Chain A
Amino acid sequence: MSDLEFFLIDFVQVLATGLLVGGTYALMCVGLGMIFGVMRVINFAQGDFLMLGMYAAFYLMTGWGVLAFLGPYVGPVVAGIFAGPVVFVIGWLLHRYLVRRVTGMAALGAEAEGHYAQIILTLGIALVLQNGGLILFGSIPLAVRTPMSGQSWEVWEVLLNQARTVNFFVAIAVAGVLYLFLSRTRLGKSMRAAADNPEAALYMGIDVEKCHRIAFALGCGITAIAGGLIASSQSFQPYIGFQFVIVMYAGVVLGGLGSILGAFWGGMTIGMVQQLSTLFLPFQLQNTAVFVVFLLIIFLRPQGLFGRVTDRT
């Protein structure tokens, strides 16, 4: 085979991997996009909810073996999905007791530093979660064992890692369910309304604070599912969260802050960018490539692909 053919195969391989990876990235970005879209809060702790999802999946499947009866093929996937509700509850409590005090109506009276109170609070939460995680879980890298993580399906000279492929489809499915929730149910629509215009939503009788709480908890839970799924294709330790924060924000900003659909496509694209960059750059720099893309988007087209431009003087 010629050099060109080799390159093409590499290219398609990388594209395929990028797509598969992009699926789970899309899901985690959707989680973040929900929080930002509905509450306009920059959540530094999002990566740590991802991490919590990974550990939840681990304990459900391997650590405490609650779901081990489902077998090594189905178990990890279900564990990944169940990580969602576990972290949903954590997110709910965090909002109820902490986050709510610096967002929404509470923030209106705050001084100049008040805008940043939200961001700083989530930074504090992130530090506590990361280091709390270190204390609770230890620093030894873990992973959810499944025979699929080491095997691949071969389709026309392209290798598709089995675990990643399954994760891809599950991630799309979860995103799809969320989409249906937001577009078809009354609660979902009221959350979108609260995101668009909180004051007008109050005039409709919508409990905006409750919408925020649900959005926050849901956002954490969905990102956690992504984490739970990834847990079967790579190893993780409590500090892994921060690596993913910029990746998630890159995806959300690319898609447009405020658009959940945008977050989905943004995440997908970032996954592709990350894998494609390995064609030209050493793999240690793949995240740097993501950062560069992130910075480029912010400077050249801050509203992203689907975003809304607000803010006036």
Chain B
Amino acid sequence: MLQIKSLEVAYGGLKALDGISLEVGDGQFVAVVGPNGAGKTTLFRSISGVVRPVGGEIIYDGQDLSALPPHARPHLGIAHVPEGRQVFPSLSVRENLEMGAFTEAAQARWRETLTTILELFPVLGERENQLAGTLSGGEQQMLAIGRGLASAPRLLMLDEPSMGLAPTVADLIFERIEQIHRDHGVTILLVEQRVAEALESCDLGYVLETGRVVLSGTHDALMADQRVKRAYLGL
């Protein structure tokens, strides 16, 4: 579904991504892990078109995305749940979700999608008319994911959904993400800092460091690999 080939992104003179290649197949759950500054968020921003690459290609469903402006890409079925939630604080929960369903395709399936979202995250139904800026961190994360789902996406990209959340809340979020993948067949591309959670449910994993893929493999291979642990704990 998604193919990234030798992607290079630079901010001024700084190479944020230095020849990244990765693949996400239909229906897969792919995880990308790595320390701060590794380029994970830059990767997402390139896929969404907010940042222009200086080299390499991004191919989605056989189509090269480089010609498409950022606001056109969600219409292809790519949903991006950004780092730090980024809800629309002065809009209500309901309106945030409506914004998620901005594309024509999403509007057609709105009723159905909304039911799904409220099933997954009932608290959003309870707080339907509340301003999104007043929700707790965990609730905002749920809203952000719900908003991503509202576009009835084929590819759901999640950027560090657990950041800044209490462990129990983070666990709940991961459970729901797994559920979305399992029950609704949405292809997932997840960036996470918490290695175990990310690698736990993934089919494929990639480890990024300073703009390069240093390790990749299937779920089992990575879980057993001592290098991952060492990278994070220096043991």
Complex contact flag A–B (Cβ < 8 Å)? yes
Q: Which of B48, B72, B90 is packed against the most chain A CB atoms within 10 Å?
A: B90
Partner of B99, one of A189, A199, A208: A189
Name A150-198 residues within 8 Å CB distance of B. 186, 189-190, 192-193, 195-197
Interface size band for A: 10 to 19
Q: Flag if A205 contacts B151 (CB, 8 Å).
A: yes
Q: Flag if B82 contacts A200 (CB, 8 Å).
A: yes
Partner of A200, one of B49, B73, B86, B98: B86
Partner of A203, one of B48, B90, B96: B48
B88 in the interface (beta carbon within 8 A) = yes
Q: Flag if A203 contacts B79 (CB, 8 Å).
A: yes
Q: Using Cβ atoms and an 8 Å threshold, which residues of chain A touch B79?
A: 203
User: What separation, in Å, do the CA atoms of A121 and B111 have in the docked complex?
Assistant: 46
Q: Flag if B151 contacts A204 (CB, 8 Å).
A: yes
Question: Please, what's the 1-or-0 string for A272-313, where 1 marks a CB less than 8 Å from any CB in chain B?
Answer: 000000000000000000000000000000000000100000
Name B87-146 residues within 8 Å CB distance of A. 87-91, 95-96, 98-100, 102-103
B71 in the interface (beta carbon within 8 A) = yes
Q: Which of B49, B70, B89, B95 is packed against the most chain A CB atoms within 10 Å?
A: B70
CB-nearest residue of chain A relative to B157?
A203
Q: Flag if B71 contacts A196 (CB, 8 Å).
A: no
Known A-B contacts A199-B50, A199-B82; A204 and B90 likewise in contact (beta carbons under 8 Å): no
User: What separation, in Å, do the CA atoms of A204 and B80 have in the docked complex?
Assistant: 8
CB distance from B151 to the nearest CB of A (A): 7
Q: Flag if A205 contacts B71 (CB, 8 Å).
A: yes
CB distance from A312 to the nearest CB of B (A): 13
User: What separation, in Å, do the CA atoms of A101 and B104 have in the docked complex?
Assistant: 29
Q: Using Cβ atoms and an 8 Å threshold, which residues of chain A touch B96?
A: 193
Q: Flag if A192 contacts B88 (CB, 8 Å).
A: yes
CB-nearest residue of chain B relative to A210?
B71
CB-nearest residue of chain A relative to B72?
A205
Q: Using Cβ atoms and an 8 Å threshold, which residues of chain A touch B88?
A: 192-193, 196-197, 200-201
Q: Using Cβ atoms and an 8 Å threshold, which residues of chain A touch B49?
A: 202
B205 in the interface (beta carbon within 8 A) = no
B147 in the interface (beta carbon within 8 A) = yes
Q: Flag if A203 contacts B91 (CB, 8 Å).
A: no
CB distance from A145 to the nearest CB of B (A): 43
Q: Flag if B89 contacts A203 (CB, 8 Å).
A: no
Question: Please, what's the 1-or-0 string for A203-240, where 1 marks a CB less than 8 Å from any CB in chain B?
Answer: 11111100000000000000000000000000000000
CB distance from A228 to the nearest CB of B (A): 30
Known A-B contacts A192-B91, A199-B50; A204 and B99 likewise in contact (beta carbons under 8 Å): yes
User: What separation, in Å, do the CA atoms of A195 and B82 have in the docked complex?
Assistant: 17
Q: Flag if B86 contacts A205 (CB, 8 Å).
A: no
Q: Flag if B100 contacts A204 (CB, 8 Å).
A: yes
CB-nearest residue of chain A relative to B101?
A204
Known A-B contacts A192-B91, A193-B91; A205 and B50 likewise in contact (beta carbons under 8 Å): no
Q: Using Cβ atoms and an 8 Å threshold, which residues of chain B touch A193?
A: 88, 91, 95-96, 99
Q: Using Cβ atoms and an 8 Å threshold, which residues of chain B touch A206?
A: 71, 99, 102
Known A-B contacts A193-B88, A196-B89; A204 and B102 likewise in contact (beta carbons under 8 Å): yes
Q: Using Cβ atoms and an 8 Å threshold, which residues of chain A touch B98?
A: 186, 189
Question: Please, what's the 1-or-0 string for B55-81, where 1 marks a CB less than 8 Å from any CB in chain A?
Answer: 000000000000000111111000110
Q: Flag if B99 contacts A190 (CB, 8 Å).
A: yes
User: What separation, in Å, do the CA atoms of A208 and B50 have in the docked complex?
Assistant: 12
User: What separation, in Å, do the CA atoms of A193 and B95 have in the docked complex?
Assistant: 9
Q: Flag if A200 contacts B87 (CB, 8 Å).
A: yes
User: What separation, in Å, do the CA atoms of A203 and B75 have in the docked complex?
Assistant: 10
User: What separation, in Å, do the CA atoms of A120 and B226 have in the docked complex?
Assistant: 58
Known A-B contacts A189-B91, A196-B88, A197-B88; A205 and B102 likewise in contact (beta carbons under 8 Å): yes
Q: Using Cβ atoms and an 8 Å threshold, which residues of chain A touch B87?
A: 197, 200
User: What separation, in Å, do the CA atoms of A14 and B166 have in the docked complex?
Assistant: 57
Q: Using Cβ atoms and an 8 Å threshold, which residues of chain A touch B82?
A: 199-200, 203
Subset of 18 A-B contacts with CB under 8 Å: A190-B99, A192-B95, A196-B88, A196-B89, A196-B90, A196-B91, A197-B88, A199-B82, A200-B87, A201-B88, A202-B48, A203-B74, A204-B74, A204-B151, A205-B73, A206-B71, A207-B71, A308-B89
Chain A residues at the B interface, C-beta cutoff of 8 Å:
186, 189-190, 192-193, 195-197, 199-208, 308
Known: A196-B88, A202-B50, A206-B102. 10 other contacts (CB 8 A): A189-B95, A189-B99, A193-B88, A197-B86, A199-B50, A200-B82, A202-B71, A203-B82, A205-B103, A206-B99
Lowest 5 A-B CB distances belong to which pairs? Answer: A205-B74, A196-B88, A200-B86, A203-B80, A207-B71
